[in-house]
Structure 1
Amino acid sequence: MKKLLLSVFAAGSLFAGNFANLQITNDTIMVEGQAKVSYEQPFYVRGGYLINSDKSNFFYAGVKSEGQAIGIDLPIKFSLFVDFVHTTKNSALPVGIGASSYIGQFSIPVFVRGEFEYAPKILSFDEADKFMKFKVEAGTQFIENGEVFVGYRDISFDNNYDSSLYVGVGFTF
């Protein structure tokens, strides 16, 4: 599965709008990435891998589309996505929504972004009865293609899998 994810990102790196980031806590490391595959309508493939020191590792891969909300004149991008998530004992096919925005009142670019995804029992497999993931991040672009951020994530299947504050660094290319 890792080889498939790396192949997708390598093929997608030929297009603009790609990013990769690293999120670190005291007992986890998460690597996430996204590759743009369509220019007419923003469409991306995305994935991530969470290495946890005391539990099974967490993996996700999926597709995402984003754009402005019709009729709303705000500098907010909304996104819809579908992922496949997997741990050793649990799998799910959640559907999610996200939002991101830059705050213009500061001398350097400051951003806020968040995601929520959920899979009920019908979209949860193996030993899972449901899946939920919530993530919110705030940070700044310290250079044109680089960012630093802090965030909070809560990943749970039937019980809490990971709930942590993290710091991260990301790059667009």
Structure 2
Amino acid sequence: MKKLILGAMIASSMLMAENFANVKITNDTIEVNAQYKVDPQNNIFARGTFLYNDNDNRNNFYSIGVKGEGNLIGIDLNYVKFSLIMDFVHTKNNSALPIGIGVNSFIPNMQIPTFVRGEYEFAPKVLSFDDADRFSRLYIEGGVQPIENAEIFAGYRNISFNSNYDSSFYIGAGFNF
């Protein structure tokens, strides 16, 4: 029975090409992201992030949350998808419930599918806990899909609790399924 349920979940996820898993690498960090479409009719996604930080002064970073996009939030353009995001983020001494926006666009008329995407999240003092007084996170990425369902990209991230947690350029690779 477990094999049947697992097989059904894998088959259903293969039909929805908006799920993904990717890895982002810098000198000091490795970040793993995943997203799964939990409601296909309403474009609602569950998402998670784990950021391993090799720097002795920093703890690992965790994030889980939900994202709604496209017609769910009333904005659905041909080449641009807007999204609303709500996450729970945590390190050893800081936690927050940020709310944010995201933009994802494929550049039209390119021989190799080329994309740009970005996200910004913010949590003021009232949505920050433990030692955190505020939280913000910014991602900006650009990349290509050299083969169907696979992507390579480069980007910049800035994660900040009361002070800067991580500000770095990275390279990454991912798989859409």
- Asked if these proteins are the same fold (TM beyond 0.5), I'd say yes
Note if contact 2:70-2:76 (Cα within 8 Å) is conserved in structure 1: no
Q: What SS does the aligned partner of 2:42 have? A: coil
Cα deviation, 1:78-124, whole Å, max 9, x if unaligned, reads: 00010000000000000010000000232100000000000000000
From 142, 154, 158, the equivalent of 1:154 is 158
1:104 aligns with 2:108: yes
1:65 aligns with 2:68: yes
Q: What SS does the aligned partner of 1:167 have? A: strand
Q: CA RMSD in A?
A: 1.9
Q: Provide the identity percentage.
A: 53
1:25 aligns with 2:29: no
Equivalenced residues, count? 164
1:90 aligns with 2:87: no
- What is the rounded CA distance, in whole Å, between the counterparts of 2:9 and 2:90 in structure 1? 22
Q: What is residue 115 of structure 1 aligned with on the other side?
A: 119
Runs of 4+ deviating beyond 6 Å: none
- What is the rounded CA distance, in whole Å, between the counterparts of 1:145 and 1:74 in structure 2? 20
TM-score (structure 1 length as normaliser): 0.89
- How far apart are 1:53 and its partner, in Å? 0.5
Note if contact 2:100-2:122 (Cα within 8 Å) is conserved in structure 1: yes
- How far apart are 1:74 and its partner, in Å? 4.5
Q: What SS does the aligned partner of 1:88 have? A: coil
- What is the rounded CA distance, in whole Å, between the counterparts of 1:71 and 1:53 in structure 2? 39
- What is the rounded CA distance, in whole Å, between the counterparts of 1:49 and 1:162 in structure 2? 13
TM-score (structure 2 length as normaliser): 0.87
Q: 1:121 to 1:113 in 2, by over 3 A?
A: same
- How far apart are 1:18 and its partner, in Å? 1.2
